[in-house]
Amino acid sequence: MDASKPIAGKVALVTGASRGIGLAIARSLARMGAKLSICARDEKKLGDAAHDLERSAIAVLAVPADVTRSSDITALVEKTSQSLGPVEILVNNAGTGYFGPTHLAGEADWDAVLDTNLKSVFLLTKAVAPGMIERRSGDVINIASLAGKNAFSGGGIYCASKWGLLGLTQCMAEDLRPYGIRVSAICPGTVATEFSPHAGKDPRKMLQPEDIAHAVEMIVTQAPRSFMSEILLRPTQKP
């Protein structure tokens, strides 16, 4: 095995990969030799990301998809399998947020956040798990958040989705570990992306998307007899 390509030829599916954390993770997996399937809702941004990744990846498939829809997920997994092969690494990164008093939020706000951050992980893992079980191997990596462990004003709906994601991750890990499948969560603090408000914070002291990508690298190169079930990621200095 080429030490510079430790996951050469493996098929990795990354959701929400058109920008930010997802794109950084896709770049990292590409450098490590993976064949990439990426998805996002914005077809234009997804195409730009695919063009960027094609410079380093051995194969890139870009599929516009809304991961809150089971029909889109079925099509995404089928296209990936047909074009690249069965999914061996799934990174559930797609996410959205609502930040404001919970009592002022609407039902649509709740549905958008919970469907994207939690339901999509259930649907995607359910779609790829049978193949992983058959092969008795696979990595499912869920990009959670320290908001899944810490409450803050205005974070009710977002925190609920991430607390739920951590519970789901831990239970899926127990369900799937007998088949050699590793299910892990990465919980970053505030990351310097356009995702959430950073008023008053110094972006130079914040986590960068590449920091989360590095955590993914550690998980997928872990010796097969063990797995990192949860990684808490903080900046060295408070922003």
CA nearest neighbour of 209 among 188, 224, 225:
188
3-state secondary structure of 93: coil
3-state secondary structure of 52: helix
Q: Which residue has the tokens 């970053």?
A: 188
Residues identified as active-site: 158
Alpha helices in 84-195 (DSSP H): 107-114, 120-135, 156-176
Q: Compute φ and ψ for 147, nearest 5 degrees.
A: -70, -10
CB contact set of 135 (below 8 Å; sequence gap of 6+): 86, 88
Taking a C-beta distance cutoff of 8 angstroms, is the pair 180, 136 a contact?
yes
